[in-house]
Amino acid sequence: MLGWIADSRRESRSLIRSEKYLKSLDDERSVWLKGKRIKVYEHEAFQGTLQTISALFDMLDDPVMQKQVGYPSPKTGEYVHTAFLVPKGPTDLQQRKAAFESWSEATDGMMSRLSDYARSRLAGWYAARKQLSRHYRDFSEKITRYYETARDQNRFITIVQRDVQINRSKQYDERCFEEAGLLRVTKKTTEGVYVSGAKMIATAAPYTNDFLVYPVMKLNQAQKSAANLFIVPADAKGLHIVCRESYAKPLSEKNDFPLSAQFDEMDALLIFDQVLIPWEHVLLLESPEGIWEVKTNPHSASLAYHQALIRLKTKLQFITGLACKIADTIGCTQFLHVQDKLGELIGQVETIHAILLAAESEGRSIEDGVYLPRFSAIETGRNLGAFYYPRAIEILQLIAAGGLIQVPASIEDFQSALSPLMKTYFRGANLQAEKRVRLFKLAWDVIGSPFASRHELYERFYAGDPIRNRAAQYLSSNKRLLLTKIEKYLSN
Ligand SMILES: Cc1cc2nc3c(=O)[nH]c(=O)nc-3n(C[C@H](O)[C@H](O)[C@H](O)COP(=O)(O)OP(=O)(O)OC[C@H]3O[C@@H](n4cnc5c(N)ncnc54)[C@H](O)[C@@H]3O)c2cc1C
């Protein structure tokens, strides 16, 4: 899948983007895994993931691929990732789409926080800097400087918004901020502000360069000490990154766990213990209105979720292809209920595809000539995804059934003395045994491995609580046209 990169490397010595990125991880960051402070780039849990990210970053240095995923920086002329491009019309939006498709295709939609989502949010805030400047002095200058640095230095960035899950009933009662673990300002000095508290969940935290940190709740003036937007480098003093258990398998087990070995995106809890945020990195301070606008800003939300939907489409295509192949392999495509379920999967892909087209073709130019996809379409697709993915996994399980378990422990078992018998009994209707086992091992990595469970949870919750997201769509949508259709029946 990523083999082209090795060929390009042989041909050219100019592929240095990944080398720079890997080197940037050799800093003083405090990353904890299983009770030990670790060096991310040396630890085997990150090998496959870092290799995948490196290959994606190196596309920007490949003479052919760089046009697909990048554009020349207006400042340096070097190719930078298209997630930073502020779209000024439909062509720019399509250029962004092509870049997201390339990265999604290379990972079959299994990696979602490759920084293209966070870079899109950043590009949105940069594009909306005039409007957002109302909430804090120097916002425009600071966001411009950071945006240009992140773009031209290929900074890996990730976003963390949610507050740590301790006691949701007390969370936003300002008398309980400390008890609820909320990230809040504790001290202001001439250098900047000190913050303490925690944030969850930060996907990609151990190997990011910077975090963009802010809350997503609607806060009031009494809660203003939690209403801030900061840029925090991963090696900030006092910041601790506590990883969950690794679901990554060693690259040597790629045959048995093709996805876990390459695409595990680590998630972590961030603990801020009196972390100094220099003024240059304080984008909003004690501004509940500003934070609400940062969350709801159409530039940032439309661009970020446009990326997320493109990735979702690729992932659903992958699951659908897998389900079709399995049904074919075990000879069950003639059963009506199997056809019905495969049709449902194809319908999921077509729906997300159509929503993307609608959002793009009904995009509009807003202030400063920025062109955005239609948000209500994007929002619909995002909200459907939280329910589509778990259903897609359920369908895959219903079709593959016991075949998911009818596999030897390892593909290497085919090298044993039992190989001739295994070749007879592990075969499919139209597939030889070793390939059938590879197919079902791939399916297990989508359904049954720890990596798989994390993905189901991710798709349900990455954009927040799916129930409250749908409720928010109801609350924010303009229902006048819908109601007019009914009103005409209610009067004489
Ligand atoms: C694998 C994974 C990776 C993620 N990565 C990131 C990331 O990189 N960056 C990021 O910012 N976020 C990320 N998220 C999303 C985020 O951290 C939360 O998981 C998500 O917003 C849901 O919130 P919660 O988990 O705190 O659930 P909670 O808010 O604690 O909800 C728990 C339950 O209580 C209910 N509930 C809680 N409060 C209310 C209320 N006020 N009204 C009604 N019902 C309520 C919920 O419906 C739910 O059933 C990630 C999530 C997952 C699962």
As a whole number of angstroms, the distance between CA 42 and CA 343 comes to 45
Q: How does DSSP assign 27-50, residue by residue?
A: S--EEEETTEEE-GGG-GGGHHHH
One domain, residues 254 and 315: no
Report pLDDT digits (tens) over 293-330. Answer: 999 889 999 999 999 999 999 999 999 999 999 999 99
Q: Using the mean position of ligand 1's atoms as its centre, give its distance from the Cα of residue 256 in Å.
A: 32
Q: Which atom of ligand 1 is nearest to the CA of 460?
A: 53
Q: How does DSSP assign 212-269, residue by residue?
A: EE---S---GGGGGG--EEEEETT-TTEEEEE----PPPGGGTTT-TTHHHH---EEE
Number of domains in the chain: 3
pLDDT at 187: 95
- CATH assignment at residue 219: 2.40.110.10
pLDDT at 173: 73
One domain, residues 172 and 231: yes
Residue 294 near ligand 1, beta carbon < 6 Å: no
Distance of CA 459 to the CA centre of its chain: 10
Average pLDDT over residues 360-365: 96
* Spatial CB neighbours of 9, under 8 Å, sequence gap ≥ 6: 15, 58
As a whole number of angstroms, the distance between CA 198 and CA 89 comes to 39
Confidence of residue 477 (pLDDT cuts 50, 70, 90): very high
| Between 225 and 173, the higher pLDDT residue | 225
One domain, residues 305 and 427: yes
Domain boundary residue among 98, 123, 148?
Answer: 123
Confidence of residue 133 (pLDDT cuts 50, 70, 90): very high
* 165, part of any domain: yes
Which residue CA neighbors atom 15 of ligand 1 most closely?
Answer: 462
Average pLDDT over residues 220-247: 96
* 132, part of any domain: no
Q: Which atom of ligand 1 is nearest to the CA of 158?
A: 8
Under 8 Å between Cβ of 316 and 345: yes
Q: Using the mean position of ligand 1's atoms as its centre, give its distance from the Cα of residue 176 in Å.
A: 20
pLDDT at 14: 54
pLDDT at 154: 97
One domain, residues 465 and 331: yes
- CATH assignment at residue 480: 1.20.140.10
* 430, part of any domain: yes
Best residue for ligand 1 mutational test, from 157, 459, 465 (most atoms within 8 Å of Cβ) = 465
- Burial of residue 23 (CB within 10 Å: 0-12, 13-18, 19+) is exposed
| Percent over 70 (pLDDT), the chain | 97
CB atoms under 10 Å from CB of 120, counted, come to 27
Beta-carbon-side half-sphere exposure of residue 463 (alpha carbons within 13 Å): 28
Residue 465 near ligand 1, beta carbon < 6 Å: yes
As a whole number of angstroms, the distance between CA 380 and CA 374 comes to 10
pLDDT at 217: 85
pLDDT at 176 over 80: no
Confidence of residue 4 (pLDDT cuts 50, 70, 90): very low
Paired strand residues for 241: 31, 270
Best residue for ligand 1 mutational test, from 199, 201, 246 (most atoms within 8 Å of Cβ) = 201
Q: Find the Cα–Cα–Cα–Cα dihedral 162, 304, 312, 73, rounded to 10°.
A: -130
- SS3 of the chain: helix, strand, coil, percent, to 5: 55, 15, 30
Strand order in the sheet with 157-160: 157-160, 210-213, 229-233, 282-284
Confidence of residue 15 (pLDDT cuts 50, 70, 90): low
Q: Using the mean position of ligand 1's atoms as its centre, give its distance from the Cα of residue 247 in Å.
A: 21
One domain, residues 189 and 313: no
Report pLDDT digits (tens) over 385-415. Answer: 999 999 999 999 999 999 999 999 999 999 9
Q: Using the mean position of ligand 1's atoms as its centre, give its distance from the Cα of residue 463 in Å.
A: 8
Report pLDDT digits (tens) over 185-217. Answer: 999 999 999 999 999 999 999 999 999 999 988
As a whole number of angstroms, the distance between CA 286 and CA 298 comes to 22
The domain containing residue 457 runs over which residues? 297-487
One domain, residues 33 and 12: yes
- CATH assignment at residue 75: 1.10.3140.10
Could you give the 3-state DSSP secondary structure of residue 194?
A: strand
One domain, residues 326 and 450: yes
Question: Which phi and psi (to 5°) does residue 220 adopt?
Answer: -115, 180
Question: Which phi and psi (to 5°) does residue 264 adopt?
Answer: -70, 120
Q: Find the Cα–Cα–Cα–Cα dihedral 247, 252, 257, 259, rounded to 10°.
A: 70
Report pLDDT digits (tens) over 275-291. Answer: 999 999 999 999 999 99
* 349, part of any domain: yes
* 145, part of any domain: no
Under 8 Å between Cβ of 202 and 269: yes
The CA–CA distances, whole Å, from 311 to 3, 19, 34, 372, 478 equal 21, 26, 31, 18, 28
Residue 267 near ligand 1, beta carbon < 6 Å: yes
Domain boundary residue among 284, 310, 333?
Answer: 284
One domain, residues 408 and 465: yes
Confidence of residue 12 (pLDDT cuts 50, 70, 90): very low
As a whole number of angstroms, the distance between CA 408 and CA 441 comes to 9
Domain boundary residue among 284, 306, 334?
Answer: 284
Residue 162 near ligand 1, beta carbon < 6 Å: yes
* 143, part of any domain: no
* 137, part of any domain: no
| Amino acid in position 355 | I
Report pLDDT digits (tens) over 407-436. Answer: 999 999 999 999 999 999 999 999 999 999
One domain, residues 367 and 483: yes
Query: Exposure pattern of 215-231 as b/e (b: 16+ CB <10 Å)?
Result: bebebeeebbbbbbbbb
* 439, part of any domain: yes
pLDDT at 171 over 90: no
The CA–CA distances, whole Å, from 193 to 136, 226, 230, 379 equal 15, 12, 10, 35
Confidence of residue 456 (pLDDT cuts 50, 70, 90): very high
Which residue CA neighbors atom 26 of ligand 1 most closely?
Answer: 165
* Spatial CB neighbours of 394, under 8 Å, sequence gap ≥ 6: none
Could you give the 3-state DSSP secondary structure of residue 71?
A: strand
Confidence of residue 117 (pLDDT cuts 50, 70, 90): very high
Residue 91 near ligand 1, beta carbon < 6 Å: no
What mean pLDDT, rounded, does the chain reach? Answer: 94
pLDDT at 279: 97
pLDDT at 470 over 90: yes
One domain, residues 42 and 88: yes
Best residue for ligand 1 mutational test, from 246, 267, 300, 461 (most atoms within 8 Å of Cβ) = 461
Which regions of 61-156 does DSSP assign to beta strands (E)? 70-72, 79-81
Question: Which phi and psi (to 5°) does residue 470 adopt?
Answer: -70, -40
One domain, residues 338 and 361: yes
Q: Using the mean position of ligand 1's atoms as its centre, give its distance from the Cα of residue 386 in Å.
A: 12
Report pLDDT digits (tens) over 210-226. Answer: 999 999 888 999 889 89
pLDDT at 170: 74
As a whole number of angstroms, the distance between CA 321 and CA 179 comes to 48
One domain, residues 353 and 460: yes
Triad 346, 351, 357: Cα angle to 5°? 130
